[in-house]
Structure 1
């Protein structure tokens, strides 16, 4: 039975495992219900958001762990060839046309694949 997240807060909600509500016995099709009536006595739903997570469409999504601090990210702008176009060791130029580059290897021996 298609049940919406807001069904639990509706006056018409059946609180029955076999019925969704008094109007839409089998649930609703689509993403909203035209017959939704807010139940003033319903318990508010608290969306607890742990650090590093966000809610998308009512689902908690944990964001990947960031390995760079804000300061490190700013310093990276000053020296990394992704941003400068030059090797930090010998200053030779890298081809800036390849935007999907992952490995940064220079003929002088400098290598970086951490970005």
Structure 2
């Protein structure tokens, strides 16, 4: 019988191996039910997030592994030309065309952006 995850928390759920619920005896078509009513006596659903993951639209998404520590990330904010507009080595001032720029290599001193 087609049963969806929310059936177990529904007021109309039959708790019977032969019936899904009192309204839809054979279960629902699709992945949602218009007649769903939260059962006030149902066990609460535990929303658990492992470290490094978050829920987006009900789906658990693992965050990509960070290559830099938080200290290194903060240092990058203080020194990278994308954020300062200047070369960290010679203080050459870049044009402020942030949306078009992909590489931040310095034409004056040869500093190369290795953060990408």
Task: Give the match for residue 12 of structure 1.
Answer: 12
1:54-69 alignment to 2 at 5 Å? Answer: 54-69=54-69
RMSD (Å) for aligned C-alpha atoms: 2.9
Partner Cα separation in structure 2 for residue 38 and residue 72 of structure 1: 49
The offset of 1:61, in angstroms, is: 1.0
Residue 112 of structure 2: aligned partner: 111
Equivalent pair of 2:103/2:113 in contact (CA under 8 Å): yes
Q: What TM-score do the two structures reach when normalised by structure 2?
A: 0.71
Q: Which has the higher strand share?
A: 1
Which residues of structure 2 form unaligned runs of 5+?
none
**1:38 corresponds to which residue?**
39
Other-structure match for 2:75: 75
Residue pair 2:10, 2:36 contacting (<8 A) in 1 also:
no
Structure 2 contact 54–60 (Cα < 8 Å) conserved: yes
CA contact (8 A) 2:87 2:111 kept: yes
Cα 1:74/1:15, change in 2 over 3 Å: same
**Post-superposition offset of 1:114:** 0.9
Q: What is the distance in 2 between the residues matched to 1:101 and 1:14?
A: 60
Are the structure 2 counterparts of residues 75 and 26 from structure 1 closer, same or farther at C-alpha, using a change threshold of 3 Å?
A: same
User: Which deviations, in whole Å up to 9, do the C-alpha atoms of 1:32-82 show, x marking residues without a partner?
Assistant: 634414061x44322221101112233211111222322222222222111
**Alignment gaps of 5+ in structure 1:** none
Residues paired across the two proteins, number: 113
